[in-house]
Amino acid sequence: MKPRPAALLLSAILLTVAACAFADPEMQGLASWYGGKFHGRLTSSGEVFDTNTMTAAHRQLPFGTMVRVTNLDNGRSAIVKINDRGPFVEGRIIDLSRAAAESLDMLASGVARVSLEIVAFSGDPDVYAIQVGAYGVGANAEKAKQALESAGFLVTIETTGLNVARVMIRDIPAATLAETRRKLEGLGYLQYLVRKEKTEPPVVSAHAVSLPVAATIP
């Protein structure tokens, strides 16, 4: 069933309002990364922190927000999901998982100059997943996962009861689905399966209750 025009309009309005509410002059600054002793601990969102997934900590953005982080020194970018709070060091605007830092080629330096772009908020009504491949050998699945994460995707591996490892790109907003498919095909992945992960009414996070005048809806 295709979304109704009214639902699409409401989604677009809410996304615009939320983006205005979170308009932050600190869309460029320093990124750092964290892992080590934090791996396996609970994040501020309640998720277990896995430094091998494409996630990040931000001081303000709602949990579930998808952000494109671009390393201004080398042009590499990656999309991460906000699931934690931080960084708590002055001058830094985002704290990345090790996997995300690796995608941006900033592991050695520890910090990098980056720009942030909000791709989607957690309230976006349509979110998709793409099954890139199914592997009988776990090492092959892990190799594919690493290659896709290096290209900036948020990737998980699902293991079925038959010990088949499915490599999945997750949390793809409808607005970026076509771009994601083009990028995949450009990398040589021509056979894949697309599925909708969830369909929910759009909501604005409670964090966005204080709106600037310019974002007020008549």
Residue for token pair 């992960």: 197
- Summarize pLDDT for 145-202 with one digit per residue, the tens: 888 888 878 888 888 778 888 999 887 878 788 888 998 999 999 999 998 875 443 3
For each of the domains in the chain, give its residue range(s) and CATH number, in order of start.
Answer: 5-120 (2.40.40.10), 126-199 (3.30.70.1070)
Query: Which is more confidently placed, 119 or 204?
Result: 119
At residue 111, the pLDDT reads: 97
- Provide the whole-model pTM: 0.57
Percent of the chain predicted with pLDDT > 90: 37
CB atoms within 10 A of CB 36: 7
CB atoms within 10 A of CB 162: 7
Of 58, 57, 40, the closest CA to residue 49 belongs to 40
At residue 157, the pLDDT reads: 85
What SS3 state is found at 106?
coil
Rounded mean pLDDT of 208-215? Answer: 29
Distances in whole angstroms, Cα of residue 209 to Cα of each of 26, 173, 201: 20, 23, 18
- The reply to whether omega before 87 is within 30° of 0 (cis) is yes
Centroid of chain to Cα 23: 18
Longest dimension (CA), the chain: 57
Measure the CA–CA gap between 30 and 94, rounded to whole angstroms: 7
At residue 87, the pLDDT reads: 93
- Summarize pLDDT for 45-99 with one digit per residue, the tens: 878 898 888 899 999 888 888 899 999 999 999 989 998 999 988 889 999 999 9
Measure the CA–CA gap between 153 and 169, rounded to whole angstroms: 6
Residues 6+ positions from 9 with CB-CB distance below 8 Å:
none
Centroid of chain to Cα 104: 14
At residue 85, the pLDDT reads: 92
